[in-house]
Amino acid sequence: MKTAAAAPVRILGIDPGLRSTGFGVIDKAGNTLSYVASGCIKSDATGSLPQRIKTILDGLVEIIATYGPQQAAVEIVFVNVNPQSTLLLGQARGAAISALVTADLPVAEYTALQVKQAVVGHGKAAKEQVQAMVARLLKLPGTPSPDAADALACAIAHAHGGQGMGALSTLGKRMRNGRLV
């Protein structure tokens, strides 16, 4: 007797940025990952900060309504040399998380190191390596843009390590001093 295959889980990955917020949508059915969509939400660099944040929020609300993800994964902001840049990036990330939680999506958070390790195999991978591996893992005909590739990589990291039997769930957890808390 054949058992019915589990329904695929749709995962939305987000690479937050004030200028360009990358998004990537994949389906996970068993051990198979399938590409659904990806792209970037671009805000007007000459616009006010509140307007730019609204652009990110509205864009993600539309993406969630269009693709109907069941789970979301967001890259954790790293601390820049420039504190002002870090604060602005944090606000873009806050807009992204607001869109996700408003849609009642469970949100997992991953560091860039975790994402790169899950996709490339080591945490110091270059952007081009991430792009190439994302294209290979999802059998894409071309290479996605850097922001879209990072978002897809975040979704892939979640699909590989954020769920399932025997996996270390990071849903609702954060990294502190290299440890999940």
Which amino acids are annotated catalytic? 15, 75, 147
Question: Which pair of structure tokens corresponds to residue 16?
Answer: 């937050």
Instruction: Give the HSE-up count for residue 138: Cα atoms under 13 Å, Cβ half-sphere.
Output: 32
Beta carbons within 10 angstroms of residue 7's beta carbon: 9
For the chain, the helix, strand and coil percentages under 3-state DSSP, each to the nearest 5? 40, 25, 35
Task: Tell me the Cα Rg of the chain.
Answer: 16
Nearest to 22 by CA among 115, 124, 121: 115
Count of positions (residues) in the chain: 181
